[in-house]
Amino acid sequence: MVSKASSETVDLPGFFADLVRCETRLYNALNDRLRERHGIVTSQFEALRYIRDHPGSRVADLAAEFAIGIGATSKTIDRLEKQGWAARQANPSDRRSSLLTLTDEGLQLVDTAESTFTERLAELTADAFKGSPLAATAQALSELRNVLERNQIGTPTG
């Protein structure tokens, strides 16, 4: 199969399978380590990190960032609230939405878990990218993500 981006021959279905399976395996491995060391899963870590890094974000902002439905995102926030890691506050400019914040416990958790996350991701990718252009791979994936997001491709409807 020929990629539109260049004249080189690329097995696009194979590329897709590799990309998805790598993501799944990395996600699961990170999930295991985060659960073992911090009692959270990767989706919780990502939500906590997003809220920390984007003060005043709303459920809809997280849903857009992670390309998941608002209902699923709201349930994630419900679980974080139940654990005492996040809180919803009234949005002064829109009574239909809430602004998300981390509690002190949630902030401490995400800061501590971030080291575990980063260290484990480095361990998992070190051998695969030894001598490979990791920066070029990261750039290509970032560009692909930007195109998909800009054109609203794969955006959930619910």
Q: Residue 5: what pLDDT?
A: 58
Query: Does any domain span residue 103?
Result: yes
The band of 102, judged by pLDDT with boundaries at 50, 70 and 90, is very high
Number of domains the chain contains: 1
Does 87 reside within a domain?
A: yes
Residue 137 banded pLDDT, cuts 50, 70, 90: confident
- Provide the residue type at 70 as one letter: I
CA distance 34 to 23: 16
CATH number at residue 66: 1.10.10.10
pLDDT band at 52 (very low <50, low <70, confident <90, very high): very high
- Answer yes or no: is 39 within a domain: yes
For 26, residues 6+ apart whose C-beta sits below 8 A from its C-beta are 121, 124, 125
* Residue 158 forms part of a structural domain: no
Q: What is the pLDDT of residues 74-92, one digit of tens each?
A: 999 999 999 999 999 999 9
Q: Is the pLDDT of residue 138 over 60?
A: yes
In a domain, 63, yes or no: yes
- Rounded to an integer, the average pLDDT of 48-69 is 95
The percent of residues in the chain predicted with pLDDT above 70, rounded, is 94
CA atoms within 13 A on the CB side of 104: 0
Phi, psi of 54 (to 5 degrees): -130, 75
pLDDT at 43: 95
In a domain, 105, yes or no: yes
pLDDT surpasses 60 at 3: no
Closest CA to 102 of 92, 93, 112, 94: 112
Residue 23 lies in a domain: yes
Note whether residue 155 is domain-resident: no
- The alpha carbon dihedral of 34, 36, 39, 40 has a sign of positive
Segments forming the whole domain that contains residue 81: 12-124
pLDDT confidence bin for 6, thresholds 50/70/90: low
Name the more confident of 133 and 4: 133
SS3 28: helix
**C-alpha span between 16 and 22 (Å, rounded):** 10
